[in-house]
Amino acid sequence: MAIHQLTPAFTPGDAIGNQAAAIRTALRSWGIESQVYSQRRDPNLTDAGEDYRKLKLGKGDWLIYHHGIDSAVTPTALKYLDRLIFVYHNITPVAYLRGYNDHLAGLAESGRRQLIRFRDAPIVWSDSEYNAAELRSLGFRDSVIMPLRVDTAGLQASAASPEGQHIVALYPKAGGPPVDVARPNAAVNWLFVGRIAPNKRQDALVRAFNYYQRLVNPRARLLLVGLSLYTPGYQIELESLTWSLELSNKVILAGAPSLAKGFGGYYAAANVFVCASEHEGFCVPVVEAMSFSIPVVAYGSTGVRYAVGDAGLLVSDNTPATLAEAVDWMLNNAGMQNQFRARQQARVAAFGQAQFEMSLQAEINRIVGGLGSITRAVASQQL
């Protein structure tokens, strides 16, 4: 028996690619043949998978299909609908993409229309209750929540590396609580990690930061980590906004360094993680931030509230005053920070390796049977 995966793209650093790699590793460790087939593959990966056109399922095999925007792999998924595990990570609403990338907007619109073609898939997984609720509204059967596996260990190692420590030294952070900027060049470091994209509303974050920096604490920085690969025009707008607000030396558009280039250092340098996003299927960086015990302040929209859970401060809107005052309250409230930190470790564990493997094993065992005996056999061989 084999359980293969099909994705539009297989690249590191995005939620779908990371999840596909984690599933493949787990399945192989249990003695199940597994490969990732995709249209676009990163050649720098140690195992970059195979071209989707090579996919052939044998009798008794299953296919895990990660659905996103419309792509060339969709007909292949439909071909194996009778033995498909349909995985939904959500799709950015078209309104956020129009005018920035009309081609991508068209693919997103088509991908959303295609959802109903998969309602008869025998197994449906979602990575958040928000995504599961959307599928139920479209007539899908109950969707099983399959938690994302978040690699916090890799982030911690990246932060501790020379490259990560260089980033920490480059942006010395304030002490506290309460906020203390006594260290030379220290500042209150706001952090957000995510693609530079209209739905993530980095522009709202810049405006909230401007409120905070002008009216609350002038010793502050905003670190925006993420690429604008698909919506470069939006980054130009952000740059123009920071210039017009005279924040060019306060707002850092850092790009998206790899783990090897010290990516984790940005989390280690942060005083607070702030999210103004209006649409997320989940929001992995929230959990990543919690692994560094960073206070989280987030607009409680869409999948963000499911990522934050009870381990961060959710606000009702992403206006400048609301976000800025919430950040100030959080950074100067030791008791509240301690309460949230006590909950953060449980939140991080919910998306760690152990929970991920337990959930995946239970699902695969339910679907095909016999996995328990397979894993016991593998374990006995390792002793």
**In the prediction, which pLDDT does 142 show?**
82
Q: Report, in this order, helix, strand and coil percent for the chain, each rounded to 5.
A: 45, 15, 35
Helices of type H across 253-350: 264-269, 284-290, 304-308, 320-331, 334-349
Q: How far apart (Å, rounded) are the C-alpha atoms in residues 354 and 368?
A: 21
According to CATH, the topology of domain 3-149+352-382 is: Rossmann fold (3.40.50)
**In the prediction, which pLDDT does 80 show?**
97
What residues have CB less than 8 Å from 98, skipping those under 6 apart? 105
Cα-Cα-Cα-Cα torsion 359, 296, 304, 247, nearest 10 degrees, comes to -140
Successive 10-residue mean pLDDT values, the chain, 383 residues: 94 86 96 95 86 95 95 96 96 96 96 96 95 95 92 96 98 93 90 97 98 96 94 96 97 94 98 98 97 98 96 98 98 96 96 96 86 52 42
Helices of type H across the chain: 15-29, 74-79, 102-113, 129-137, 152-160, 162-170, 202-215, 232-244, 264-269, 284-290, 304-308, 320-331, 334-349, 353-368, 371-382
From the list 26, 314, 47, the residue with the least C-alpha distance to 146 is 26
Across-strand partners of 260? none
Q: How far apart (Å, rounded) are the C-alpha atoms in residues 127 and 90?
A: 9
**In the prediction, which pLDDT does 382 show?**
45
Helix axes 371-382, 353-368, angle to 10 degrees: 130
Q: Which CATH superfamily is domain 152-349 in?
A: Glycogen Phosphorylase B; (3.40.50.2000)
| Cis-peptide into 122, omega within 30 deg | no
**In the prediction, which pLDDT does 208 show?**
98
| Cis-peptide into 178, omega within 30 deg | yes
**In the prediction, which pLDDT does 377 show?**
44
Torsion sign across C-alpha atoms 92, 93, 96, 99: positive
Residues of CATH 3.40.50.2000 domain(s) within the chain?
3-149+352-382, 152-349
Maximum CA extent, the chain: 67
How many Cβ atoms are within 10 Å of 375's Cβ, its own excluded? Answer: 19
**In the prediction, which pLDDT does 288 show?**
98
What's the whole-model pTM score? 0.94
Per-residue b/e over 346-359, b at no fewer than 16 CB within 10 Å? ebbebbbbeebbeb
**In the prediction, which pLDDT does 42 show?**
84
**In the prediction, which pLDDT does 90 show?**
95
Burial of 39 (0-12, 13-18, 19+ CB in 10 A): middle
